[in-house]
Amino acid sequence: MVLQDLGRRINAAVTDLTRSPNLDEKQFDSMLKEISNALVEADVNIKLVATLRTSIKRTVNFKDLPPSTNKKRLIQKAVYDELVKLVDPHAEPFKPRKGKPNVIMFVGLQGSGKTTSCTKLARWYQARGFKACLVCADTFRAGAFDQLKQNATKAKIPYYGSLTQTDPVIVAREGVEKFKKERFDLIIVDTSGRHQQEKELFAEMSQIQAAVSPDQTIMVLDATIGQAAEAQSRAFKDTADFGAIIITKTDGAAAGGGAISAVAATHTPIVFIGTGEHLLDLDRFDPRAFVSKLLG
Ligand code: GDP
């Protein structure tokens, strides 16, 4: 199910209810059921959906509503607020400041969109006056450095990497040191991903993290991975303790409920979402704006 369909279904459930001339509790319950089904089908964690349902019920408290209450508005607001809560962990993400080196390290599985998102983020900050650069610490995948080089060249972003050095920790350290000396504001370190959460990957991630002491670690999550997102993000959190999430491929065929559930599981804010394959396809994530757009 695509994200727009999820929004459409939730909207339709609320609209059907608010159009009804004699709004009763049975109708309210069936609206809640329809919203819950839509969220579960979009891969939002079933426990989170149950919590959302209970909270809306508690906030509206249908039975005890005085007859004069504007029930429709109350219900609409409760649904909106609970959806915002679902994607808002109330944690402030790190904000880079100009004039000092801010190091951001990316982690995530191979194919999640890490390298693409690194370049998008560097360009995003570059467009806002940051002196940004990229370090390729992925020595695992053949062609990783070439890909980063191509992306960086296209975006006119300075980069560092090595075709001969096989130790990613050394490359990461050298790259970050070089760019710090050159007074870059934003140094983004791309790390290797594997197909699974292998031991070696996690060991490598924590060594790189120790070597470059990032101000922020960002986990990249593919919106299409569904329910697996939660377990995956917990596993990454245990090792790399990321402070923010970027969800990629939100333009694709998945509603991204799994990725949204990862936010709640790890209490970590989504900072950006990837909306396509191109360099400019990156949007800042704002929970309220996201839910407003979702509901149209
Ligand atoms: P990495 O292995 O994690 O570094 O992943 P890549 O950056 O190489 O991305 C894997 C694939 O996903 C590439 O074909 C990218 O073009 C594509 N991709 C990354 N982000 C997005 C996005 O937001 N939307 C779409 N449609 N494709 C994306």
CA distance 288 to 282: 17
Q: What is the pLDDT of residue 230?
A: 86
* Ligand 1, residues at Cβ distance < 6 Å: 108, 110-116, 193, 248-249, 251-252, 274-277, 281
Question: Residue 150 carries which DSSP code?
Answer: H
Structure tokens at 159: 């980069």
Quote the CA–CA distance of 211 and 192 in Å, as a whole number. Answer: 15
Residue 198 one-letter amino acid: E
What residues are paired with 134 via a beta bridge? Answer: 159, 188
pLDDT tens-digit readout, 68-83: 778 888 999 999 999 9
Probe residue for ligand 1, chosen from 116, 224, 236 as the CB with the greatest number of ligand atoms within 8 Å: 116
pLDDT of 265 reads 83
Per DSSP, what are the bridge partners of residue 104?
188, 216
More confident site: 155 or 2: 155
pLDDT at 232: 87
Q: Please tell me the predicted confidence (pLDDT) of residue 42.
A: 87
The burial class, CB within 10 Å (0-12 / 13-18 / 19+), for 55 is: middle
Q: What is the dihedral of CA 271, 145, 139, 207, to 10 degrees?
A: -30
Q: What is the structure's pLDDT at 289?
A: 86
To the nearest whole percent, how much of the chain has pLDDT over 90?
A: 61
What gap in Å lies between CA 261 and CA 270, rounded to an integer?
Answer: 11
State the DSSP code for 279: T
Task: Choose which residue among 248, 250, 282, 284 to substitute to test ligand 1 binding: the one with the highest number of ligand atoms within 8 A of its C-beta.
Answer: 248
| Alpha-carbon distance values, 291 to 133, 139, 184, 204, 294 (Å) | 33, 39, 35, 37, 5
**Residue 123: C-alpha distances to residues 54, 139, 153, 215, 250 (Å):** 42, 23, 11, 19, 19
Instruction: Give 96's pLDDT tier (boundaries 50, 70, 90).
Output: very high
Give the pLDDT of residue 185. 97
Q: For residue 164, what pLDDT is reported?
A: 92
Residue 94 clears pLDDT 80, i.e. is over it:
yes
Strands (E), the chain: 102-107, 132-137, 159-160, 186-191, 216-222, 244-248, 270-274, 282-284
Report, as an integer, the average pLDDT of 36-45. 91
265 CA to centre of own chain: 12
Tell me, letter by letter, the H, E, C secondary structure of 54-120: HHHHHHHCHHHCCCCCCHHHHHHHHHHHHHHHHHCCCCCCCCCCCCCCEEEEEECCCCCCHHHHHHH
Residue 43 pLDDT class (50, 70, 90 cuts): confident
Quick: pLDDT tens for 54-69: 999 999 998 888 887 7
Query: Cα separations (Å) of 89 from 22, 93, 104, 267, 273?
Result: 36, 10, 21, 5, 16
* ipTM of the complex in this document: 0.99
- Report the nearest atom of ligand 1 relative to the CA of 118: 7
Closest CA to 219 of 204, 236, 203: 236
Q: Among the atoms of ligand 1, which is closest to the Cα of residue 110? A: 2
* Mean pLDDT of the chain, nearest integer: 91
Residue 123 amino acid letter = R
Closest residue by CA, ligand 1 atom 16: 277
Mutate to test the pocket of ligand 1, among 277, 278, 285 (most ligand atoms within 8 A of CB): 277
- Render pLDDT for 181-230 as a digit per residue (tens, 0 to 9): 999 999 999 999 877 667 888 899 999 999 999 999 999 999 888 888 88
Q: What is the mean pLDDT of residues 238-266?
A: 87
Q: What mean pLDDT is predicted for residues 167-172?
A: 96
| pLDDT the model gives residue 196 | 65
Averaged pLDDT for residues 227-251 = 90
